[in-house]
Amino acid sequence: MSLTITPISSALGAQIDGVDLTRPLSPQQRDAIEQALLEHQVIFFKDQSITPQQQARFAANFGDLHIHPIYPNVPEQPEVLVLDTAVTDVRDNAVWHTDVTFLPTPAMGAVLSAKQLPAFGGDTLWASGIAAFEGLSRPLQVLLDGLTATHDFTKSFPLERFGSTPEDFLRWDQTRKNNPPLSHPVVRTHPVSGRKSLFVNEGFTTKINELSEAESEAILKLLFAHSTRPEYTIRWRWQENDVAFWDNRVTQHYAVDDYRPNRRVMHRATILGDAPF
């Protein structure tokens, strides 16, 4: 069966119908999904009651999978992490961020599956770094292209929230030692499409290295606000068994924290990427 791809907005986002993610993909389906991801940056599949094993299998079509150093995972499928508000404080997801940019090779993408949802709230927003870069004036594009920025694990995973018990502290401290602050380009070139994208995010980016502290603070404040203008974003209202697949190289996302004390459970498989350039 051929896939049906329905765009959601001009900046990013599309819904894909005509594929069953509980079954292995054919080569043609895999290639069509990858092409849709390149074009639309985040794609959605509805009514996909996938197990963690099926989710990992689907994600592995597009690269090796990452095991998160902090979040709990599905014991029998450790590549699938669990975002369960009854178990883990997930406030760090309620900020615009690109996943694991504290790694030398940040994630290529991620596959998120909705398992248990509150009666209302809990939407997720995505923003296109490509649209944001292309929306800048040419002089500012030229200024930013070639600069680098520092990304720090501890900005979204502070000790006071993720090291409260001896066991948690040991995990946090080892993760911090394994992931010291590092630098990525402020403007990233997509390794497949060649398109340029802003690659700074409020979750992990702390400074622009080549600028003074005051200049860096002012430019980052501008870029964080500019990158998430409504015209560069979409908002997805989850239904149970929805699956989202986003290109982490050129997007940010924000999980809206507006449903407490109700419970929200999501499963995520993260696909490893390459060094930004």
- The maximal CA–CA distance of the chain, rounded, in angstroms, is 56
| Catalytic annotation present for 268 | yes
Burial 137-151 (b: 16+ CB within 10 A, else e): eeeeeeebeebbbbb
Q: Choosing from 190, 253, 264, 267, which is the catalytic residue?
A: 253
- The catalytic residue among 40, 57, 97, 264 is 97
Is residue 253 flagged as an active site residue? Answer: yes
Instruction: Tell me whether residue 237 is one of the annotated catalytic residues.
Output: no
168 phi/psi in degrees, rounded to 5:
-65, -40
Residue 190 designated active-site = no
Q: From CA 36, how far away is CA 89, in angstroms rounded?
A: 33
Left (φ > 0), alpha (ψ -120 to 50) or beta: where does 63 sit?
Answer: left
Among residues 99, 152, 242, 247, the one annotated as catalytic is: 99
| Complete DSSP assignment for 71-140 | S-EETTEEEEEEEETTTS--GGGSS-B-TTTTSSS--SEEEEEEEE--SS---EEEEEHHHHHHTS-HHH
Residues identified as active-site:
97, 99, 253, 268
